[in-house]
Amino acid sequence: MPQDLTVIVLAAGGGTRMKSKTMKVLHQVGGRSMIGHVLRAAQATEPRRIVAVVGHQREQVGAHIHSLVADAVLAVQEEQLGTGHAVRVAMESLVADEAPATGTVVVATGDTPLLTGESLTAFVAEHLASQAAVSILSGVVDDPFGLGRVLRNDEGDVLAIVEEKDATAEQREVHEINSGILAFDAAFLADALPRIGNDNAKGEYYLTDAIGIARGDGLTVSAHPIDDVKQTEGVNDRAQLARMGAEMNRRIVERWMRDGVTVMDPATTWIDADVVLAEDVTILPGTQLLGSTVVAEDAVIGPDTTLQHCEIGVGARVVRTHAELAVIGSEATVGPFSYLRPNSQVGARGKVGAFVETKNSVIGDGAKVPHLSYVGDADIGEGTNIGAGTIVANYDGVAKHRTVIGRHARTGSNNTFVAPVTVGDGAGTGGGTVVRDDVPPGALAVSAGPQRTIEGWAERRRPGTDQARAAAEAVAQSGPHEPGPDDQPS
């Protein structure tokens, strides 16, 4: 049930300390943009709407927000005059749309990737229960430097938030900080915003001045310290981005271990926020499970494997592999040293072995491409075995073509399939065959010509070399070779 709740997410600032052409809130943590994490948390509160304040690079940021929350309202803040100004822009854009905020307004920032829906929902509940005009999600931290401090009187009542730059030495000793997440009674907020000035150290309109205003009006103000303060920690530079990434990963890995996944080395295992793992999956060291990857029961992944947007079947084994947008069937084995490019499908009990690259191909149930091959734009039927060192030549220099190999075929080593070409069910090819023409079911195709053997060639053409000497020594030991019927006259 949506409540009468509006969540405003601030994302207009430039994030200059990131030193990046990508806007800060679009940088990823756990495979999801930072603002994506905040929007997820916002959605969990079941708000009537989400308003994002955008400014810098508003086209990219706005488009990204709409890709995640299609009905999010975008409010454009042309100039970043402070958090109070940003929220005013958001509130006024709702008024302009003839849908002014009523009930409760929550303000969050777009750069706190660890924030969870549970925490934000709990905070909204606490705010409503306290019947405060404004509530602060606060936190007690070891190092409060740079953050707004929550000032309380001797009775513990919240009086104000003072920003670092405006604080006295004594106020800077306070370790209870403003997380930047605030909840307001909408009517109070609309009334307070125009009363916020910018006569302060930064010359900005501070949203946090609303706390002092509420107190002055004799209204209730409350602050709710969050135990897990990391959830409200913002990211300002790349070092913090990496720390938050590691922290998010630690949390994700812990959660999967609690849910029955064996992780041999949590420190070298990276799992994105959207990955889904089943019970009794085993992850070996050096593994990255990225994007929308899904792994089914009893699969063993790693060591040293990266899977992005992949689907791995029950009991599959994926060793030292790099795969993207690939589907690996149940009980299939892949690797070591395999490279599965987008749209690769390996059937149940199929095999893709060492130094094999696949792309846009279907390898049927029980089919095997065991060694040193490239398989692109191909369909390989059930139970077929592809010989070592096979190249599917899918590209004629202009266009890509498909190769179709039927069921239970046996192809020789070092074959080249020149697409488009079709090999029938149960067909075979000899070693070194260049398959340019279709092979009917059950036929054997051989294209390598008969071998020519030219006796005494090394002595005649490479006299005085190690090659010629080795040949002469071998002949001296075993006598000259008796020419057979296939040998060429020398």
Enzyme catalytic residues: 371
Q: Which of 287, 254, 282 is nearest to 269 (CA)?
A: 287
Name the closest residue to Ca ion (Cβ). Answer: 234
Instruction: Establish if 384 lies at the interface with ligand UD1 (CB under 6 A).
Output: no
Please state the closest distance from residue 5 (CB atom) to ligand UD1, in A: 20
Question: Which of the listed partners (ligand UD1, Ca ion, none) does 222 bind, with a CB threshold of 5 to 8 Å by partner kind?
Answer: none
Instruction: Establish if 148 lies at the interface with Ca ion (CB under 5 A).
Output: no
Q: If you compute the radius of gyration of the chain from its CA atoms, what whole number of angstroms results?
A: 33
- Judged by CB under 6 A, the residue of 178, 293, 345, 415 near ligand UD1 is 178
Question: Which of the listed partners (ligand UD1, Ca ion, none) does 206 bind, with a CB threshold of 5 to 8 Å by partner kind?
Answer: ligand UD1
Candidate segments 58-66, 232-240, 338-346, 419-427, binder of Ca ion by CB under 5 A: 232-240
Instruction: Establish if 180 lies at the interface with ligand UD1 (CB under 6 A).
Output: yes
Candidate segments 27-35, 75-83, 120-128, 463-471, binder of ligand UD1 by CB under 6 A: 75-83
Instruction: Establish if 163 lies at the interface with ligand UD1 (CB under 6 A).
Output: yes
> CA–CA separation, 418 vs 412, rounded Å?
15
> CA–CA separation, 260 vs 279, rounded Å?
5
DSSP state, residue 176: E
Question: Which of the listed partners (ligand UD1, Ca ion, none) does 38 bind, with a CB threshold of 5 to 8 Å by partner kind?
Answer: none
Residue 190 to residues 117, 159, 427, Cα–Cα distance (Å): 26, 20, 78
- Judged by CB under 6 A, the residue of 148, 350, 353, 387 near ligand UD1 is 148
Residues 369, 387 contacting (CB under 8 angstroms): no
Q: Which of 175, 151, 149, 176 is nearest to 164 (CA)?
A: 149
Q: Which of 283, 291, 244, 241 is nearest to 266 (CA)?
A: 283
Instruction: Establish if 111 lies at the interface with ligand UD1 (CB under 6 A).
Output: yes
Question: Which of the listed partners (Ca ion, ligand UD1, none) does 77 bind, with a CB threshold of 5 to 8 Å by partner kind?
Answer: ligand UD1
Question: Which of the listed partners (ligand UD1, Ca ion, none) does 302 bind, with a CB threshold of 5 to 8 Å by partner kind?
Answer: none
Candidate segments 230-238, 303-311, 409-417, 447-455, binder of Ca ion by CB under 5 A: 230-238
Please state the closest distance from residue 110 (CB atom) to ligand UD1, in A: 5
Please state the closest distance from residue 85 (CB atom) to ligand UD1, in A: 5
Transcribe 69-103 into DSSP letters: STTPEEEE-SS---HHHHHHHHHHHHHHTT----S
What b-and-e string marks burial along 386-419, b requiring 16 or more CB atoms within 10 Å of the CB?
A: bbbbbbbbbeeeeeebbbbbbbbbebbbbbbbbb
Residue type at position 233: E
Instruction: Establish if 212 lies at the interface with ligand UD1 (CB under 6 A).
Output: no
- Judged by CB under 5 A, the residue of 148, 234, 303, 428 near Ca ion is 234
Question: Which of the listed partners (Ca ion, ligand UD1, none) does 80 bind, with a CB threshold of 5 to 8 Å by partner kind?
Answer: ligand UD1
- Residues touching Ca ion, count (CB under 5 A): 1
Extract long-range pairs of 300-308: CB within 8 Å, 24+ residues apart: 302/264, 302/269, 305/335
Residues 325, 310 contacting (CB under 8 angstroms): yes
Instruction: Establish if 31 lies at the interface with Ca ion (CB under 5 A).
Output: no
By CB under 5 A, name the binding residues for Ca ion. 234
By CB under 6 A, name the binding residues for ligand UD1. 10-13, 53, 77, 80-83, 85-86, 109-111, 147-148, 161, 163, 177-180, 206-208, 234
